[in-house]
Structure 1
Amino acid sequence: MGVFSRMSDIINSNINAMLDRAEEPEKVVRLIIQEMEDTLVEVRSAAARAIADRKELERRMDHAQREADEWQRRAELAITKGRDDLAKAALTEKKHTEVEQALLKGQHSNAEQGLAKLNDDIIALQAKLADAKQRQKAFEARHNTAANRLKARSRTHDERINNALGRFEHYERKLEHMEGKVEAYDLGKQRDLDREFADLETNDYVEAELATLKERMGAGKSTGE
């Protein structure tokens, strides 16, 4: 594939469509960038050669113009000397030079148009290249994020971690059981303390009832006597 046909394919390519069809978008973007960079180097080299050719045409045009002016001067000189034969010969040479000059001007015009097209193609290719590089950065960022998320997810679902967490829960349950035993002892002490206070209250009640009963019975005996 020639540089110009390849360049045209790249400039006219739809990068989004290429990525939609690709199984590995990152690889496709890298290949596109590499192809664009290589093509850009070749196009710039071609432009440099075209500029050199244009300058060469300009030098030849200047030389032809000087030759035409020189033959014009000789024709005029020959006329002043009465040498019409030499004047005709000089004018004939001038005509040949003017024909060559016209051809050179046509070539120069074509060279100018070619350079203008090359310049447009370079601008378009640079825009495509910048877009591809931007997409490459976006893909790299997304890839890194996805890789980190995948690593985190794999760690989360790692059986070793699950086993460790299971053991942790087992020890946690054992600790809770131990703490329950401690609380059970405290609850027992609390019940004993409540019973002691209840006994005290009961004793007070019994003593009061006993005193009341004795007092009532004592009063009954006094009345019976």
Structure 2
Amino acid sequence: MGIFSRFTDIINANINSLLDKAEDPEKMVRLIIQEMEDTLVEVRSASAKTLANKKELTQQINKWKSEADDWQSKAELAISKEREDLARAALMEKQKCVDHADALERELGLVDEQIGKLQDEVTQLQDKLADAKNRQKAILMRQKTVSSRLEVKKRLNNFNVDDAIGRFEQYERKIDSIESQVESYDIGKQSLARQFAELEENGKIDSELEALKKKVQAKSSEGPQE
């Protein structure tokens, strides 16, 4: 199993654990990003070690090839000196060096393949990490918005509408009572004013009536003259 696949298993396990515990989504997002960052460090470290291993293998291959060339030169020297036995021994040593170099080159091919996979995983992980960080703010804002909406819904659900309307009507009745008291004072004042007005009006009529009586009596007393 590759590092990237193992990382996915770790993330899924942590997400499931957080969901089971109903953890804060903000903590979950931070944990996912932290896991991705830690895994990226791990992948880069593995890549660095693999590159170092490739360098060491390359050096060993070059060493064996150099020794093979050296034995080739010794075999040629032995032949020139008519020492076929030494030439044969030199060629045998050369073959050993070639075999070692070939084995290391096959191993180097596997290392190159591993490096390619690690580089792909680093690229994928970097892209996913960048995407996660870009989405983190939006996710947290959505979480806060949903939490606020949920709180409002809870308050509305706990709010007793009938009780509120009952209190509202009670306040209306109190206001009606106060308004009635104010109007009763106004009515009392209007009634008193009207009574005085009637008294004044009656006084004028009485005065006019008395004047009219005197006028009629005066005419009667004068009477017709013979």
Q: TM-score range by the shorter chain?
A: 0.5 to 0.7
Aligned residue for 2:146, secondary structure, equals helix
Residue 173 (structure 2) pairs with residue 173 (structure 1): yes
- The equivalent residue for 1:6 is 5
Gaps of 5+ in 1: 11-21
Distance 1:149 1:62 in 2: 69
Distance 2:195 2:179 in 1: 25
- The equivalent residue for 2:16 is none
Structure 1, residues 90-146: CA drift from partner, whole Å, max 9, x if none? Answer: 344334423432443343234223212211122213322443465565444433333
- The equivalent residue for 1:101 is 101
Distance 2:78 2:211 in 1: 174
- The equivalent residue for 1:19 is none
- CA deviation after TM superposition for structure 1 residue 189, in Å: 0.9
Residue 109 (structure 2) pairs with residue 145 (structure 1): no
Aligned residue for 2:182, secondary structure, equals helix
- The equivalent residue for 2:68 is 68
- The equivalent residue for 1:185 is 185
Q: How does 1:1-225 map to 2 (within 5 A)?
A: 2-3=1-2, 6=5, 33=32, 40=40, 43-44=43-44, 46-75=46-75, 77-78=77-78, 81=81, 83=83, 85-132=85-132, 135=135, 138-158=138-158, 163=163, 166-167=166-167, 170=170, 173-174=173-174, 176-197=176-197, 199-201=199-201, 203-204=203-204, 206=205, 210=209, 213=212, 217=216, 221=220, 225=224
User: Quick one: which amino acid aligns to residue 54 of structure 1?
Assistant: K
Aligned residue for 1:182, secondary structure, equals helix
- CA deviation after TM superposition for structure 1 residue 180, in Å: 3.0
* 8 Å Cα contact 2:4-2:121 kept in structure 1: no
User: Quick one: which amino acid aligns to residue 63 of structure 1?
Assistant: K
- The equivalent residue for 1:15 is none
Report the RMSD for the aligned CA atoms in angstroms: 4.8
Alignment size in residue pairs: 213
- Closer, same or farther: CA 60–201 of 1 in aligned 2, 3 Å: farther
User: Quick one: which amino acid aligns to residue 113 of structure 2?
Assistant: Q
TM-score by length of structure 2 reads 0.61
- The equivalent residue for 1:16 is none
Distance 1:150 1:112 in 2: 54
Aligned residue for 1:50, secondary structure, equals helix
Distance 1:50 1:59 in 2: 14
User: Quick one: which amino acid aligns to residue 115 of structure 2?
Assistant: L
- CA deviation after TM superposition for structure 1 residue 221, in Å: 4.7
Distance 2:162 2:136 in 1: 38
User: Quick one: which amino acid aligns to residue 117 of structure 1?
Assistant: K
* 8 Å Cα contact 2:7-2:39 kept in structure 1: no
User: Which shows bigger deviation, 70-79 or 184-193?
Assistant: 70-79
Distance 1:75 1:88 in 2: 7
- CA deviation after TM superposition for structure 1 residue 44, in Å: 4.6
Distance 2:219 2:172 in 1: 71
- Closer, same or farther: CA 150–166 of 1 in aligned 2, 3 Å: farther
TM-score by length of structure 1 reads 0.62
- Closer, same or farther: CA 117–159 of 1 in aligned 2, 3 Å: closer
